[in-house]
């Protein structure tokens, strides 16, 4: 990854999801950015949609309308 990458902002993430990411990152000993990168790559490689004990946040079930 390039060293001179500008900050990235994600809009539309609800406060509960942000807090869950912060907590999971802290538990994993990572920054939120590093945790997100690791989690996204793990899901991408494994096809997993569920969280696990390694600190990934579980996917929420879609709300029924």
Q: Residue 56 class from Cβ within 10 Å (0-12 exposed, 13-18 middle, 19+ buried)?
A: buried
pLDDT digits (tens, 9 = 90+) for 15-38: 999 999 999 999 999 999 999 999
User: What does the alpha-carbon distance between residue 55 and residue 20 come to, in Å, rounded to a whole number?
Assistant: 10
Closest CA to 22 of 41, 35, 6: 35
Query: How far is the CA of 10 from the CAs of 13, 18, 52, 55, in angstroms?
Result: 7, 10, 23, 21
Q: How confident is the model at residue 64 (pLDDT cuts 50, 70, 90)?
A: low
Residue 34 lies in a domain: yes
The count of structural domains within the chain is 1
Judge whether 23 lies within some domain. yes
pTM of the model: 0.60
Q: Which domain holds residue 29?
A: 15-46
Does any domain span residue 64? Answer: no
Residue 39 lies in a domain: yes
The sign of the CA dihedral 26, 45, 15, 7 is positive
In a domain, 20, yes or no: yes
């Amino acid at each position: 990854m390039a060293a001179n990458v500008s900050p990235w902002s994600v809009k539309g993430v609800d406060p509960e999801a942000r807090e869950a990411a912060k907590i999971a990152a802290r538990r994993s000993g990572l920054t939120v950015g590093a945790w997100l990168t690791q989690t996204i790559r793990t899901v991408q490689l494994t096809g997993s949609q569920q969280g696990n004990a390694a600190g990934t946040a579980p996917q929420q079930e879609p709300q029924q309308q």
